[in-house]
């Protein structure tokens, strides 16, 4: 609103300067043009401030909540994403398209600098995150990164255990007994140990 007032004042100043020029009052004309330029710059400056990332973010969230109110459910915490394939979508429209197929409500968690929208299916979790800017890391993005790290570590441990099982050797002794010798890697420090177990030979 203030920016519009400044722009109107600048136009008035330019009109006054034109009238002053017609009456050969050049000194006042220059002064009026100066005021017009100042008002115009102030108006443009305020207009740009009103389009700040914070206002754009607030406006986007308000539009989403108003438009898709019937399929949105407010959540106080991040939904459990464990054992689900996480699919991050690029827009709220993509998430709504998925919702039309799945027919389940979209949970959202609104915060000051980000708002996370999650659609949960049996094996998938569709996620859209609206943020003030790309430098913000929302809570759900942190959870997704942690989940990927856990999954990677679990996969590495599983493949490591398989390799260790392949390295297992059985030593037969003369007293009709044998020992199973298997390398085991501790989870905490990943140091290999040799563990022996008695096995009765039938």
Domain encompassing residue 76: 55-155
* Same domain, residue pair 45 and 59: no
Residues 28 and 102 grouped into a single domain:
no
**pLDDT in the model for residue 182:** 52
Are 11 and 47 in a shared domain? yes
Mean pLDDT of the chain: 77
Q: How many Cβ atoms sit within 10 Å of the Cβ of residue 78? A: 16
Q: pLDDT confidence of 9, banded at 50, 70, 90? A: confident
Indicate whether 20 and 59 sit together in one domain.
Answer: no
Distance CA 89, CA 129 (A): 8
Q: What is the pLDDT of residues 93-132, one digit of tens each?
A: 999 999 999 889 999 988 888 899 999 988 888 999 998 8
Query: Does residue 161 fall inside a structural domain?
Result: no
Domain shared by 64 and 100, yes or no = yes
Number of domains making up the chain: 3
Same domain, 64 and 149: yes
Collapsed DSSP state (helix, strand, coil) of residue 114: strand
Same domain, yes or no: 145 and 194: no
Which of residues 165 and 76 earns the better pLDDT score? 76
Is the predicted pLDDT of residue 79 greater than 60, yes or no? Answer: yes
Task: Report d(CA 144, CA 105) in Å as an integer.
Answer: 20
Domain boundary among 10, 34, 51: 51
Q: Give domain status of residue 78, yes or no.
A: yes
Q: Are residues 44 and 60 in the same domain?
A: no
Average pLDDT over residues 25-37: 86
State residue 142's pLDDT score: 85
On whether residue 160 sits in a domain, the answer given is no
Q: Are residues 191 and 148 in the same domain?
A: no
**pLDDT for res 197:** 39
Residue 162 belongs to a domain: no
* DSSP SS3 for 82: coil
Do 63 and 102 share a domain, yes or no?
Answer: yes
Does 102 fall in a domain? Answer: yes
The two structure tokens encoding residue 155 = 């996969």
Torsion of CA 168, 172, 173, 178, to 10 degrees: 60
Among residues 12, 32, 51, the one where a domain terminates is 51
Q: Mind listing the pLDDT tens digit for each residue in 123-175? A: 888 999 998 888 888 888 888 888 777 777 766 665 666 566 566 555 555 65
Radius of gyration of the chain (CA): 34
Strands 192-200 and 124-131: unpaired
Same domain, yes or no, for 41 and 84? no
Report pLDDT for 147: 77
Asked if residue 189 belongs to a domain, the reply is yes
Burial group, residue 181, by CB count within 10 angstroms (0-12, 13-18, 19+): middle
Shared domain for 141 and 79, answered yes or no, is yes
């Amino acid at each position: 609103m203030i920016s519009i007032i400044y722009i109107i004042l600048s136009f008035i100043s330019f009109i006054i300067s034109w009238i002053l020029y017609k009456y050969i009052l050049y000194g006042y004309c220059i002064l009026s043009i100066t005021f017009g330029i100042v008002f115009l710059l102030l108006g443009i400056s305020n207009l740009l401030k009103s389009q700040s990332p914070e206002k754009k973010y607030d406006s986007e969230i308000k539009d989403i909540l108003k438009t898709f109110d019937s399929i949105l459910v407010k959540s106080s915490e991040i939904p459990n994403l464990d054992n689900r394939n996480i699919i991050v979508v690029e827009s709220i429209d993509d998430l709504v398209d998925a919702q039309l197929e799945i027919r389940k409500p979209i949970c959202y968690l609104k915060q000051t600098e980000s708002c996370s929208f999650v659609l949960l299916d049996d094996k998938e979790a569709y996620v859209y995150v609206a943020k003030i800017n790309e430098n913000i890391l929302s809570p759900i993005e942190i959870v997704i990164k942690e989940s990927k790290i856990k999954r990677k570590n679990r996969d590495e441990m599983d493949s490591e255990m398989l390799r260790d099982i392949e390295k297992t050797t059985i030593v037969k002794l003369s007293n009709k007994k044998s020992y199973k010798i298997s390398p085991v890697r501790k989870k905490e420090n990943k140091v290999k140990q040799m563990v022996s177990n008695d096995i009765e030979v039938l």
